[in-house]
Amino acid sequence: MKNQRFLLFLLLVIVCSVFFPFGTGYTQTTSPRDETIQSSEPPSASDALEAEEIKEMKGKEEEETPREISPEQDENLIKKGEQDKGKEEGEEDEEDYEYLEEEEMETIADPLKPFNHLMFDFNDKLYFYLLKPVAQAYKAVLPEPVRVSIRNFISNITTPARLLNCILQGKAEKAGIEYSRFLVNTVAGGLGFFDVAKKYCNLQKQDEDFGQTLGFYGIKEGFYIVWPVFGPSTLRDTVGSAGDFFADPFVYINPTTDIGITKVNSDIRSGINTTNVVNETSLTIGTYEEFKESSIDPYVSMRTAYFEMRRKKIKE
């Protein structure tokens, strides 16, 4: 068992060393990230605004003169089979192109769609028929402050993964915050049951994971994958989750209790994970239902949301 884990860890190290050049130093490793942001990231809100503004201004300047249509736009026009372009106002045309651009940016690779859709439906059923009833029963037994404390506790013991990823991304300030949070909450917050660091020291939890670290170093998202039970992910984030698995201290702590007849392996990690899932669900009951009701195509909606959320987190 121990050997197996060590081998897995070794494998991961090899994978990691292939993915990012450890030896080349920090200044060099940051450059690919900047490149990807320019090339593959969709423009941020303000960027889009700026671009739009510039376009609109240009549109006004060129209102009288016939506007130039770049080959790219021309292609799009042909693609759309657009006939009444003359009828439309210049400004609207410009903005439509902006949408086009945005849409091209948002194109998400989803070659596994049939599988993913199946898994999405599976997870959906899992939520309504298993997770939700369990979480509701759990919610009925434990009052909210207790559940929030459990969330805090789990969040505190999973600090190593976040701290490690802050360090791997060279984010000293964030790493410092995570480190201080761990100390303050463990000592003053009763082993992490109370988030005193946030309440009194205004130290916010820094949500960094291995998937984000990979993204930070310019690893592309790859395609979309919906895992049974675990939900939406990408190729990169799946590798990331494996990394986070090894940053979990409870992977290495596994006390064995002798109960006489046989030795029982108390798997703390899966216990914590299960508690975490049920606890989180109990605190967010209703969110998924609302999400589903609000969407025309829940599968597509979740996919878009997942990518947007991850891209935002990597940017931070």
Partner 1 sequence: MKLPTKNNYIFTMALVLLLVLPYPALASTPTEQVKEKADKVLTILNDPALKNNKEQRRNMVTNVVEDMIDWQEVGRRALAIHWRKRTPAERTEFVDLFRDLLKRTYSDKLDLYAGESIIYDSEKIDGNRAVVKTRMINKQKGEEASIEYRLIKKNELWLGYDIVIEGISAVNNYRVQFNEVITSSSYESLIRKMKNREFKIRESSKSTKGSKK
Q: Which of 29, 39, 96, 120 binds partner 1 (CB under 8 A)?
A: 96
In the block, residue with structure tokens 């990518």: 307
Cβ neighbour number for residue 230 with a 10 Å cutoff: 13
CA-based Rg of the chain, rounded to a whole angstrom? 24
| Of residues 56, 172, 52, 37, the one with CA closest to residue 101 | 52
Among 38, 39, 257, 294, binds partner 1 (CB under 8 A): 294
Is there binding between residue 78 and partner 1 (CB under 8 A)? Answer: no
Report the nearest approach of partner 1 to the CB of residue 242 (Å).
Answer: 24
Query: Does 173 help bind partner 1 (rule: CB under 8 A)?
Result: no
Q: Tell me, rounded to whole angstroms, the distance of Cα 125 from its chain centroid.
A: 23
- The DSSP 8-state label assigned to residue 42 in this structure reads P
Q: Which of 31, 40, 204, 274 binds partner 1 (CB under 8 A)?
A: 204
Local structure of 225: helix, strand or coil:
strand
Question: If binding is defined by CB under 8 A, does position 301 make contact with partner 1?
Answer: yes
**60 is an interface residue for partner 1 by CB under 8 A:** no
Binding span for partner 1 by CB under 8 A among 15-23, 144-152, 225-233, 257-265? 144-152
100: left (phi over 0), alpha (psi -120 to 50) or beta: alpha
132 neighbors 289 (Cβ within 8 angstroms): no
256 forms beta bridges with 265
Check residue 287 for interaction with partner 1 (CB under 8 A): yes
Helix (H) and strand (E) counts in the chain = 16, 4
- Report the residue from 199, 229, 230, 249 that binds partner 1 according to the rule CB under 8 A: 199
From 3-11, 163-171, 193-201, 257-265, span contacting partner 1 (CB under 8 A): 193-201
Which residue is associated with the tokens 């009925």?
A: 140
User: Nearest approach, Cβ of 159 to partner 1 (angstroms)?
Assistant: 16
The contact set with partner 1 (CB under 8 A) reads 45-46, 49-50, 52-53, 56, 80, 82, 84, 88, 92, 96, 99-100, 102-103, 106, 128, 132, 144-145, 148, 151-152, 195, 198-199, 204, 283, 286-287, 289-290, 292-297, 300-301, 303-305, 308-309, 311-313
